[in-house]
Amino acid sequence: MNIKFFGATGEVTGSCYLIQVNHKNILLECGMLQGSKNHERHNSDPFPFDVAQLDAVIVSHAHLDHTGRLPMLIKEGYHGKIYTHNATADLCEIMLVDSGYIHEKEARWENKKRERKGLALIEPLYTTEEATRTLQYFQGLNYDKELEICSGVKLTLRDAGHIVGSAIVELMLTENGESKKIVFSGDLGHKNAPILRDPFQVKHADLVIMESTYGDRLHRSWQDTWQEMGEIIAHAKSSKGNILIPAFTVGRTQELLYEFIQHFEEWQLGDWQIFLDSPMGIKATKVYAKHSEVYDEKAVDVEKNHKGIFDLPNLHMSETTEYSMKINQINSGAIIIAGSGMCTGGRIKHHFKHNIWRKNAHVIIVGFQARGTLGRSLVDGTENINLWGEKVQVNAKVHTIGGFSAHADQQGLLDWYQGFENKPPVVLVHGEEEAMSVLAEKLKHQCQANVVQASYKQNIII
């Protein structure tokens, strides 16, 4: 038995691990590299293993850094099953097809430039059709149900609390009469986050593969986060402007809508028009609404007392371009939630064009903003932004609320590991080197854990 690490080693994207047991090859995650253009070009590299030899594929959740190369796997000839939670299968139907559309669009733009220069044309990483074809190979599962996916490999998914359908992956591996239990954390959720349950606590493992995204920091409390949100909304109301919220379409958007219901009276939200201006965000919200079986107790109660956990009386779902353009005719009293979460594209940029130069407008940043993104420049206090070649002055008040995260922080990761009763060895993945190193030291000294920081192509005997 062994596991090879082909992604998310010293970085947070491109998750990909190959487990070999009993002459079977199990691929765990098939994620896309995200970040700089130089980084992303490696998505077209050949897989570092023989696709024809794969017996099964497992993905922990729908984010593209865990699923984004699945269509390429199918293109290369894999026609076996892709095991995941039912809600993840539903989200992948949205996210992989959208990813294919983006790759096609980027290839068209690049080829226009190449044609003018007389250069060879390029093919998209994969198309919407290829992404759609991938969906037929998904087999959706429920939490806590053991399934033998091939000889010597039993799979159980546990709730990770990260996004809807996210899973901790338990694998019971048997070879030559010996059995070992491998537990892969996937992306662990932020404790007490809205809607979803806290991550399931596994009690025993022979090896733990654990994410380390925020291994070097602590999150602000949820109470302080919601208090600040309420104060910003009250201030914006007094200044009679619009509120713009760039939000990730899966997870963050749904958390906001849910909390708007919780604080509807307190924040006097009935005085606003609320818009979800994101076709993909609307589809993802429908998936969240469909899978109430994964809600925490509070969300279950909210669903019973309302028509649904997102059923705001003044919420307008904006799917069409025409509807989105009409929103920009509103100068006051609108709360607009739109993608993209880092302001790198999508409809939020159009709303910036019509609002960000207004002194009574407000921008609320509710997610991580990577270096080099428009969102990061706003967080850093830029006075001007460039929108489609036009310089636009930033007069709006920009608020950054730091308590939002779909990932466990350092203490959450330590608490989850300490829930194991036998202190199993740990392999850290899915974290930048500094965060990973800090968490490794904490695990060694506070938990007396045997810790390895995974490196690319490292092979660990189980």
Residue 82 belongs to a domain with what CATH number? 3.60.15.10
170 touches 139 (CB < 8 A):
no
Same domain, 169 and 64: yes
pLDDT tens-place string over residues 178-208: 999 999 999 999 999 999 999 999 999 999 9
In this structure, the answer to whether residues 322 and 227 fall within a common structural domain is yes
The segments of the chain whose pLDDT lies below 50 read none
Residues 277 and 331 in one domain: yes
Q: How far apart are CA 6 and CA 385, in angstroms?
A: 38
- Cα separation values, 386 from 102, 356, 368, 383, 415, Å: 22, 12, 20, 11, 44
CATH of the domain at 386: 3.40.50.10890
91: left (phi over 0), alpha (psi -120 to 50) or beta: alpha
Phi-psi region of 14 (alpha: psi -120 to 50; beta: other; left: phi over 0): left
Number of domains in the chain: 2
| pLDDT the model gives residue 345 | 86
Shared-domain flag, residues 368 and 424? no
User: Which residues span the domain enclosing 180?
Assistant: 2-217+406-461
Q: Mark whether 412 and 425 lie in a shared domain.
A: yes
Residue type, 203: K
- Token match 């995260």: residue? 405
175 and 276 share a domain? no
What per-residue confidence (pLDDT) applies to 158? Answer: 98
Beta strand ranges found along 116-197 (DSSP E): 138-141, 147-150, 153-159, 167-175, 178-184
pLDDT digits (tens, 9 = 90+) for 235-250: 999 989 999 999 999 9
H-type helices in 118-251, by residue range?
A: 128-134, 222-239
Same structural domain, 411 and 304: no
Residues 291 and 415 both lie in one domain: no
The answer to whether 28 and 18 have CB atoms below 8 angstroms apart is: yes
Domain boundary among 382, 400, 418: 400
Q: What is the pLDDT of residue 37?
A: 73
Strands (E) located in 185-264 = 207-211, 243-246
Q: Output the CA–CA distances (angstroms, integers) from residue 439 to 198, 211, 332, 387, 430, in the order listed.
A: 20, 10, 46, 40, 12
Which of 374, 400, 426 terminates a domain? The answer is: 400
- Select from 400, 415, 440 the last residue of a domain: 400
